[in-house]
Amino acid sequence: MDQSNRYADLSLKEEDLIAGGQHLLVAYKLIPAPGYGFLEVAAHIAAESSTGTNVEVSTTDDFTRGVDAMVYDIDETAFGDHPVTGGGLMKVAYPVDLFDPNLLDGHFNVSHMWSLILGNNQGMGDHLGLRMLDFQVPKCMIEKFDGPSAGIADLWEVLGRPRENGGYIAGTIIKPKLGLRPEPFAKACYQFWLGGDFIKNDEPQANQPFCPMETVIPMVAETMDRVQQETGEAKLFSANATADFHAECKKRGDFILESFAKYGNEKHVAFLIDGFVTGPAGVTTARRAFPDTFLHFHRAGHGALTSYKSPMGMDPLCYMKLARLQGASGIHVGTMGYGKMEGHGNETVLAYMIERDSCMGHYFHQEWYGMKPTCPIISGGMNALRLPGFFENLGHSNLINTCGGGVFGHIDSPAAGATSLGQAYDCWNSGTDPIEYAKTHGEFARAFDSFPADAEKIYGADWREKVGSHK
């Protein structure tokens, strides 16, 4: 049934909808199935994600029609005819009244918002692809989402840095990500902390039988205290508190904080939550149970929704916005084409959108109205050689970087690998040519020897003659 007479109004102006402040706007890429018209399918999507279904129902009244989602703009050929990357553009205006405030405090919840704008409409049979590209949240809704509580400024303060523009936090993931028992794990932490700032559990590192949390976490807490005394430098640890039940998440969080508090280091802890697999409920549980602790949102699994290889799901930008709304202190933004993760250099907007108070997205300008920022975290195939180019592309270094293989694959030691990361930042920050910098900074120079394929790709086949580090 073609419902475009009810769920589409192409005379509506986007600027008027934004000025009115009573609609959440969403841009989608749509590939209709053969035999269906573009506007027909677009209207069906608006119906299914608001007040309608595939048929007229007798219970509809005038009030119901007043909260219909409306297609207000289409461009049927916006993306060409490729079966994955092709399709047309459609924009939908969702009345604010459609969204679900909490009984507890009147705040909006991301779970309900997500199910509405990217829920049942993903599985309909009259399209071959529906991908959410961008959305804009009005002020009246922004003010009623949790947003972040703690942030990177709190970590900079622990590290003894200014709360503004505190700079690069050099981090790692203990490798191998699985298979280490408590003693080797704590030893690996010690080795990295001799030269670096921040260690995170990887997404599956938690409470394996061969490395139980109740054994390894106290060891890591003791190791942090010891290395801080030896180096005179503060250190940070992001511990995995992920769970599928709120009571388990809180139990893990309490145990972690108690273990580090024994040494007065509870502020040196972040909680890693696998936010894709637990969903907004997992993130919000940690955000509300531990508001003073940095909430580290690991997006493991997100590619099932955000991969550019799929005509379905959502653009990574949408995922970033959802993470900030639900209160992530930091989230992995990928490597923007500089690491091993899918991505490209123009993904700088993923970082800008979560860290700035005002930012232009793919289709909408988003004002955050004072909501605290979410820190970009970069990881996935990064090392010291790749960092200067990444920083240059992004334009700043106010972020957390976690290199696993880039540290533990360093030819000399994890401590040297950690030091090489800090040197890579200093190289970029000082505006020095990396080849020239390497000649006087041994750990960075040895990163060339450690990752020769990257050295050749980034700095040329004659890097050995230029650096001389092999001699």
Average pLDDT over residues 262-283: 96
Encode 451-464: b = buried (16+ Cβ within 10 Å), e = exposed.
beebbeebbeeebb
pLDDT for the residue numbered 83: 82
Say whether pLDDT at 470 is over 70. Answer: no
Say whether pLDDT at 459 is over 60. Answer: yes
Cα distance between residue 400 and residue 297, in whole Å: 12
Cα distance between residue 270 and residue 268, in whole Å: 7
User: pLDDT (tens digit, 9 = 90+) per residue, 146-189?
Assistant: 999 999 999 999 999 999 999 999 999 999 988 999 999 999 99
Average pLDDT over residues 55-80: 90
Q: Is 172 left (phi over 0), alpha (psi -120 to 50) or beta?
A: beta
pLDDT for the residue numbered 192: 97
* Residue 343 banded pLDDT, cuts 50, 70, 90: confident
- 409, two tokens: 């694959």
Active-site position among 23, 91, 127, 175: 175
User: pLDDT (tens digit, 9 = 90+) per residue, 434-455?
Assistant: 999 999 999 999 999 999 999 9
Active-site position among 298, 302, 321, 441: 298
- Omega cis (within 30) before 176: yes
CA distances (Å), origin 456, targets 262, 373, 385, 392, 462: 47, 37, 10, 19, 7
User: Do residues 334 and 341 touch, judged by C-beta distance below 8 A?
Assistant: yes
Cα distance between residue 138 and residue 131, in whole Å: 21
Say whether pLDDT at 55 is over 80. Answer: no
Say whether pLDDT at 208 is over 60. Answer: yes
Average pLDDT over residues 364-382: 96
Say whether pLDDT at 305 is over 80. Answer: yes
Say whether pLDDT at 471 is over 60. Answer: no
Average pLDDT over residues 405-426: 96
pLDDT for the residue numbered 59: 81
Pairing of strands 375-379, 400-402: parallel
Using DSSP's 3-state secondary structure scheme, residue 228 falls into helix
Average pLDDT over residues 328-347: 91
Say whether pLDDT at 58 is over 80. Answer: no
Q: Record the pTM.
A: 0.95
pLDDT for the residue numbered 469: 60
Domains and CATH numbers, the chain: 8-142 (3.30.70.150), 152-455 (3.20.20.110)
User: pLDDT (tens digit, 9 = 90+) per residue, 94-141?
Assistant: 999 999 999 999 999 999 999 999 988 898 999 999 999 999 999 999
Using DSSP's 3-state secondary structure scheme, residue 392 falls into helix
> For this structure, is 175 an active site residue?
yes
